[in-house]
Structure 1
Amino acid sequence: MKVVVIGGTGLIGSKLVSRLAEHGHEAVPASPDSGVNTLTGEGVAEVLEDAAVVVDVSNSPSFADDDVMTFFRTSTTNLLAAEKEAGVGHHVALSVVGTDRLQQSGYFRAKQAQEELIKDSGVPYSIVHSTQFFEFMKGITAAATKDDNTVHLAPVKIQPICSDDVAAAVGRSAVGEPLNGVVEVAGAETFQLDELIRMRLAATNDPRTVVSDPEAPYYGAQLQETTLLPGADARIGDIRFADWAAQQQ
């Protein structure tokens, strides 16, 4: 089965392409580097020829509110139109647990817009909602760091997941039947966000200080205790944070 992976050279996309190929599928990574640009439409029709499934794990190069909205609206609209033309039978997209609860954030408003375009397109689809990746803890820390070298984070719950487990979950959706709905995936453990980052900074000898701040925004959005947590039916990954962290050392 031919599966085109938009964003197929990134963190999740590259792992997904490898997994699909190992299981005998024709996995085609597609990105601007390979001549496929979903913003301009360049190369999209060509790469979708004979494709059974398209998986979109791409991300905006800029997180500025207007830029990210333009990216997801334009890219998704172009991709879905080309899929209809090519007769693609299944569109799979990676999104984020809690997207609908984080609409104060321009990034999550754009992800919500992407999801609505998919649902309204008429193309059979599956949307995979993932909690934040272990690999994104560094980015969360950077976004929350103030000029005085303190990291302000809300004391809320988070259930992060390893990118390998995310790729496995997206792969299962790609080779399965369209859900025409959403499936959630999350890590095996729940942490308190500020405590997790404090622990991670200590383990990496990072001198920054974590400040527990209930009002601290998360990419522009205010958090409640369970905003970042999945529902009870989420599929749970296998890789534990401590094991992943040990491998990073």
Structure 2
Amino acid sequence: MADRARTPQVVLQTRKLKKHFGGVQAVCGVDLSVPDGDLRAVIGPNGAGKTTLFNLITRDIPHDSGEIHFQGEEISALSSHEVCRRGIGRTFQITSIFRRLTTLENVQTALLTHHRRHYNLFAPASRLYRDAALALLERVGLREQALKPSGVLAHGDQRRLELAIALAGDPRLLMLDEPTAGMAPRERHEIMELVARIGADTGLTIVFTEHDMDVVFAVAAHITVLHQGWVIAEGRPQEVRANQEVQRIYLGQQVARSR
């Protein structure tokens, strides 16, 4: 255990990863290394390549060149479904839930899918994994909302539900693309503190994108900064905050907008 603490296993690694759209180079030879149990923020201005990088890692879009390794296995030839089966979970910028199903049924559906079983609301299968689903809702603070149609939940609670759905896949790596999008400042801090607690309690490796720098510097263990598809800085929050290029390119924009 002591040796593992000194040299954590690398869970996710990309090497010279590239992607272009027409004449635009969206991801420019990105080298990324995320150790076991890390809470990693990927930040950068709009158009920096953050979502594209996520889409490449989860195989939602093909890469042009480079390598993607997950737990030591090269996964760049796998489909998004196969990557999910390997243990990479994902949420998206736009809320994605079954709005006509209850909060509980959404999580049950995710559990049934993970265990490769079919869901039927009118058959005993609808009772499968009920306890496991309720436990996940408890973890994200939605136990009291279990029987409500998910479509009537507040936006912040729908984001919590998405987190529970992602956790239902029992991921080894969880990738959250702007998990606080559309939330008020207090809600942003609350949900990211929840994410940090889940990571600390379970040892789950988490990578997230976020525009709120207060949130990023409050919860992230390490930060990777992208600009025009390139990694321009990486390190602990205090190191990134002190980086002059980051201040010029990104943090300076945040300060300017706040004036």
TM-score of the superposed pair, with normalisation by structure 2? 0.31
Q: Which has the higher contact order (CA 8 A, sep 6+)?
A: 2
Q: Which has the higher strand share?
A: 2
TM-score of the superposed pair, with normalisation by structure 1? 0.32
